[in-house]
Amino acid sequence: MRRYILQRLWQGVILLALVTTIVFFLGRLTGNPVDLMLPEDATEEDRTALIETLGLDAPMYKQFGIFVVNVLQGDLGVSHRYRRPVVEIFFSRLPNTLKIVPAAMILAMIMAIPLGIVSAVRRGSMIDRVSGTIAVLGIATPNFWLGILLIYVFSVQLGWLPSARMGTPLHYVLPTITLGTFLVAGFMRLIRSSMLDILDSEFVKLARIKGLSETTVVWKHCLRNALIPVLTLWGVFMGGLVTGAIVTETVFAWPGIGRLTFEAVIFRDYPLLQAVIIMDAVLILLINLMVDILYAYIDPRIRLAE
Amino acid sequence: MKHRGLLTGLLISFVLVTFTWTPLIAAEQKGTLVIALDTLGGQNLDPILETRASHAHFQAPVFDSLVGFDFEKGGIGPGVAERWELAKDGLSWTFYLRKGQRWHNGDPLTAHDVKFSLERTMSKESVASRSAALRRNVKSIEVIDDLTVRVNTKGVQVHFPASMSRAVFQEGQMMPKKYIEKVGVAEFRRKPIGSGPWKIVKSVPGDRVEYEAVDYPHWRGTPKFKRMTILLVPEESTRVAMVRTGEAAIASISPESLKEVKSAKLKVVSVPSTMQAVYYFWGTYRDDQKNNPIADKRVREALSLAIDRKQIIDHVMNGEARWPMPFATFGYSVDMDTKKWRKWSRKALRYDPARAKELLTEAGYPNGFDLKFANTALPGTPYMVQIGLAVADFWSKIGVKVKYKHYEWGAFRALRRGQEKLRGGASMYRTAGRPVAVARYMSGFHSKSLSHLFGNTKGDKNICPALCKEFNSLHKLVVAEQDDATRTKNTNRMIKLVADSWVAVPILEGMGYWAVNPKKVGAFKPIPGRHEFGDVFERMPLPGQMAWK
- In this prediction, residue B269 has a pLDDT band, given cuts at 50, 70 and 90, of very high
Q: By percentage, how much of chain B surpasses pLDDT 90?
A: 66
CB B93 within 8 A of CB A19: no
Minimum Cα–Cα distance from B430: chain A residue: A40
Find which of A84, A87, A165 to mutate to test the B interface (most B CBs within 10 Å of its CB): A165
- Say which CATH topology domain A86-305 has: MetI-like fold (1.10.3720)
Sequence-distant (6+) residues with CB within 8 A of B279 are B388, B391, B426, B427, B428, B429, B504, B505, B507
Return the number of other C-beta atoms located less than 10 Å from residue B496's C-beta: 15
- To test the contact with chain B by mutation, choose from A28, A30, A43, A269 the residue with the greatest count of B C-beta atoms within 10 A, namely A43
Indicate yes or no: CB of B439 within 8 angstroms of CB of A163.
Answer: no
Q: What is the mean pLDDT of chain A?
A: 85
- B121: CB partners within 8 A, 6+ apart: B47, B48, B128, B131, B134, B171, B173
Q: Does A160 reach chain B within 8 Å, measured CB to CB?
A: no
Residue B229: pLDDT over 90: yes
pLDDT at site B14:
54
pLDDT above 50: residue B1: no
pLDDT category at B494 given cuts 50, 70, 90 is very high
- pLDDT value at residue B18: 52
What pLDDT is attached to residue A58? 84
Burial category of B36 from C-beta neighbours within 10 Å (exposed 0-12, middle 13-18, buried 19 and up): buried
**∠A286-A292-A293 over CA atoms, to 5°?**
90
Interchain pair A82, B205: CB under 8 A: yes
Residues A80 and A63: their CA atoms lie apart, in Å, by: 15
pLDDT surpasses 60 at B26 = yes
A260 contacts on B by Cβ (under 8 Å): 206
Q: Grade residue B320 by pLDDT with cuts at 50, 70 and 90.
A: confident
Q: What residue of A is the nearest CA neighbor of B36?
A: A253
B130, closest residue in chain A (CA to CA): A46
Residue B10 has pLDDT above 70, yes or no: no
pLDDT band of residue B3 (cuts 50, 70, 90) is: low
Domain boundaries, chain A: 86-305
Give the pLDDT mean for B403-431: 86
Candidate from A91-95, B127-131, B202-206, B212-216 with smallest mean pLDDT = B127-131
Q: pLDDT value at position A282?
A: 87
Cβ pair B131:A250 closer than 8 A: no
> How far is the CA of A305 from the CAs of A205, A290, B538, in angstroms?
27, 18, 71
Please provide the average confidence, as pLDDT, over all residues in chain B. 90
The pTM (predicted TM-score) of the whole model is: 0.85
pLDDT greater than 70 at residue B4: no
Residue of A nearest to B449 (CA): A43
Report the pLDDT value the prediction gives residue A240, as an integer from 0 to 100.
73
Nearest one of B178, B171, B169 to B141, comparing CA atoms: B171
- Cβ contacts of B457 on chain A, cutoff 8 Å: none
Which stretch of DSSP H or E encloses residue B76?
strand B76-78
Tally DSSP H helices, then E strands, for chain A.
Answer: 15, 0
Q: Residue B446 CB: number of other CB atoms within 10 A?
A: 21
pLDDT of residue B309: 97
Q: Which residues pair with A260 in a beta bridge?
A: none
Closest residue by Cα to residue B53 from B515, B506, B508, B433: B433
Residue A31 has its nearest CB partner, among B43, B207, B414, at B414
pLDDT at residue B535, as a whole number: 93
pLDDT digits (tens, 9 = 90+) for A198-235: 888 888 888 888 888 888 888 888 888 888 888 878 77
As a whole number of angstroms, the distance between CA A62 and CA A80 comes to 18
Contact A101, A238 (CB under 8 A): yes
CB contact (8 A) between residue B52 and residue A31: no
A84 — contact with chain B (CB < 8 Å)? yes
Chain-chain contact of B133 with A43 (C-beta, under 8 angstroms): yes
Higher pLDDT, A297 or B323: B323
pLDDT of residue A304: 58
pLDDT tens for each residue of A6-64: 887 888 889 888 988 888 888 787 777 877 777 666 777 777 877 887 788 888 888 88
Minimum distance, in Å, between the CA of residue A263 and any CA atom of chain B? 10
Report whether pLDDT(B95) > 70.
Answer: yes
For residue range A102-117, list pLDDT tens digits in order. Answer: 889 888 889 888 888 8
B114 vs A35: which has the higher pLDDT: B114
Percent residues over pLDDT 70 in chain B = 94
Radius of gyration of chain B (CA): 25
Please state, in angstroms and rounded to a whole number, the distance separating the CA atoms of residues B432 and B511: 10
pLDDT band of residue A302 (cuts 50, 70, 90) is low
pLDDT given at position B5: 65
Phi, psi for B149 (deg, rounded to 5): -135, 140
Q: Does A163 touch chain B (CB under 8 A)?
A: yes
